[in-house]
Structure 1
Amino acid sequence: MTDNNREKIWRHARLSCAPMMDWTDRHCRYLHRLLSRETLLYTEMVTAPALVRGGAVHLLDFSDEEHPVALQLGGSDPAELATAAKLCEARGYDEINLNVGCPSDRVQSGTFGAVLMKTPQLVADCVKAMQDAVSVEVTVKCRIGVDDQDTEKVLPDFLDQMVRAGVSRVAVHARKAWLQGLSPKENRDIPPLDYPLVYQMKRDFADMHLSINGGIATLDEAEAHLAAGMDGVMIGRAAYQNPADVLCAADRRIFGAGTDSDPIEVVRQMLPYIEAHLLAGGKLHQVTRHMLGLFSGRPGARAWRRYLSENAPSAQAGPQTVEAALAFVERAAA
């Protein structure tokens, strides 16, 4: 990666949408890109075994309009991850991120995700193998620790290992992951947030680009974290459930670029994309399920959500279904 390319992607990483399983697919990312031209987008986690052993390269499909976009990989075998990284680079992703944060049982059984916080040397071996295989930047997304680990010791040791492996950018979810006793959903809410620890890591690892993640719901909060010294902020559920609130003003407020996007206009911009998806054999609800929260808190939001939920799954549903739902919002706003 050239210095110019790295500088560009680091700038976009001032605000990013977190990788979320079953949520941040290519349709979600296309919508988010229309809402914000600058925010860095992440794919759902794709496992290296699925790509290398399963041949599921269709999981790498995305639209050119999504750039800048990063692919998150899951895995723990350095050679397999290196092969998967090559496939990702060939598809044109701007970054490859290694998942060291997911706490689900399925991920643990594959010996990757948050359980890798227990074996930082293996993580270092993995990222080194990936870096040797590709020219795009390889990054890591981690937790502050797992189970009974002492986070004030574990996290700096982990980051030190990443620095030694050549990693320059890490996103830290500011919660522990409990691998036993809590579900993945509970792991997003119950372990307490420790923002001060992540702030301290930024002071201790001043040359690293560190993004903070976990419990951040608004641009006001994102700006506060940036003002506190963080290089970037990663927002997950709020960016998905209330995308307009987080992304419409992001380019102006976080990046000092452009003007705010209009969610009504974004819906209209989605119509050609939806038409192309249907012509390719797709279903409307595969796209519109990501659009349900677009007008959250605004007049007509409930009617918009209800109409799409009830009508988009129909075999006859198409762009006209979205336009009919949008009419509820436009009438409410008039």
Structure 2
Amino acid sequence: MPQHPTSKQNLSPPSRRFSVAPMMDWTDRHCRYFLRLLSSQALLYTEMVTTGAILHGDRQRFLRYDECEHPIALQLGGSNPADLAACAQLAEAHGYDEVNLNVGCPSDRVQNNMIGACLMGHPQLVADCVKAMQDAVSIPVTVKHRIGINGRDSYAELCEFVGTVREAGCTSFTVHARIAILEGLSPKENREVPPLRYEVAAQLKQDFPELEIVLNGGIKTLEECQQHLQTFDGVMLGREAYHNPYLLAQVDQQLFGQEAPTISRAETLARMRPYIERHLAEGGAMHHITRHVLGLAQGFPGARRFRQLLSVDVHKTQEPLKLLDQAIELLGDR
């Protein structure tokens, strides 16, 4: 991986007007390569990577990406300021455009390591983490969080959290407009059971007008994105961007005002072919990549056969690229 030295003088921060959320087991480098074909402007996030995995594990595996993925942000999970600072330095050295601290994941596994949403109960610790990271790098340091956690879900406590982290120098907050319930709900349930409260995030933007506030949670269409951009500085899509990725094909035109022609579904998959060939040549399996493109066929006849080719038949064939070509043909001119 080439090194990309940066300085405060030459930084061009990525636009957060539209971004795809960090999603565990989903937004790996193969997924991001695919999504980048659909939108040149969307800010893409890695899966959350813990500081321990980077500092003590297979660093190159966790930090690897393709140059075409820019703009790209690394999301970190951790609560030790020194470890987070060290990982932020590695992110900058590897050319990431932003480093983001996860203060929103509600799973028991991360809570036990003081990672994720439980940190909302420790605003000063989050501030210390942010300051350590900002002191270590020139790229933007941002925070993604909930509007609260059970037992600490008042608006005053949310303002205390944001205000404390702001004092440490953070100017960009991505707000998942639900509280996190730290006991009794799975991560999936925590994305669905606590009600969405966009009005709380909107009040936060009103009370902290100088901060960049990006809205996350439950957004499904570009029309909704445009509506929310009347209030917020940016929008972040998660599951919808993964399950219905072709909506990203309109992002550059509708949300960034670009006039580039829209890429077709078939052309998108065809442009994945050389990337897949390289992966196969390195000893990888095609399903590592094609599992991320299954939503490309959503919404028209042939979608079921498309999914079968790339998620079932792919495990049974000695000629995976032939199946890929069949899948491209199924997409036709769509």
TM beyond 0.5? yes
SS, match of residue 25 in structure 2: coil
Counterpart mapping for 1:7-156 below 5 A: 8-9=13-14, 12-156=15-159
SS, match of residue 293 in structure 1: helix
Q: Distance in 1 between matches of 2:21 and 2:255?
A: 16
1:254 partner letter: L
Aligned to 1:330: 332
Aligned to 2:234: 232
SS, match of residue 299 in structure 1: coil
2:127–2:164 Cα contact (<8 Å) kept = yes
In the TM superposition, residue 147 of structure 1 has moved relative to its aligned partner by 0.8
SS, match of residue 309 in structure 2: helix
In the TM superposition, residue 4 of structure 1 has moved relative to its aligned partner by 6.7
Aligned to 2:310: 308
2:175–2:214 Cα contact (<8 Å) kept = yes
1:299–1:329 Cα contact (<8 Å) kept = no
SS, match of residue 254 in structure 1: helix
1:202–1:210 Cα contact (<8 Å) kept = yes
In the TM superposition, residue 156 of structure 1 has moved relative to its aligned partner by 1.1
2:35–2:245 Cα contact (<8 Å) kept = yes
Counterpart mapping for 1:217-296 below 5 A: 217-227=220-230, 229-245=231-247, 247-257=248-258, 258-296=260-298
Aligned to 2:174: 171
Q: Distance in 2 between matches of 1:50 and 1:118?
A: 24
Aligned to 2:320: 318
Aligned to 1:5: 11
Q: What TM-score results when the alignment is normalised by the length of structure 1?
A: 0.95
In the TM superposition, residue 298 of structure 1 has moved relative to its aligned partner by 2.1
1:156–1:201 Cα contact (<8 Å) kept = yes
In the TM superposition, residue 211 of structure 1 has moved relative to its aligned partner by 0.3
Task: Work out the percentage of aligned pairs sharing the same amino acid.
Answer: 52
1:137 partner letter: P
1:72–1:99 Cα contact (<8 Å) kept = yes
Q: CA RMSD in A?
A: 1.5
Q: Tell me the matched-pair count.
A: 327
Q: Distance in 1 between matches of 2:9 and 2:216?
A: 25
SS, match of residue 167 in structure 1: coil
SS, match of residue 5 in structure 1: coil
1:5 partner letter: L
Q: What TM-score results when the alignment is normalised by the length of structure 2?
A: 0.95
List per-residue Cα deviations over 1:185-241 (Å, max 9, x = no partner).
0000000011001011111111111100001111111111002x2000000000000
Aligned to 1:213: 216
2:101 partner letter: L
1:186 aligns with 2:192: no
In the TM superposition, residue 130 of structure 1 has moved relative to its aligned partner by 0.6
In the TM superposition, residue 318 of structure 1 has moved relative to its aligned partner by 2.7
1:158 aligns with 2:161: yes
1:248 partner letter: A
Q: Distance in 1 between matches of 2:262 and 2:155?
A: 40
Structure 1 unmatched ranges of 5 or more: none
In the TM superposition, residue 267 of structure 1 has moved relative to its aligned partner by 0.5
SS, match of residue 155 in structure 1: helix
SS, match of residue 290 in structure 1: coil
1:307–1:325 Cα contact (<8 Å) kept = yes
Q: Distance in 1 between matches of 2:104 and 2:312?
A: 35
Structure 2 unmatched ranges of 5 or more: 1-6
2:123–2:164 Cα contact (<8 Å) kept = yes
In the TM superposition, residue 315 of structure 1 has moved relative to its aligned partner by 5.8
Aligned to 2:299: 297
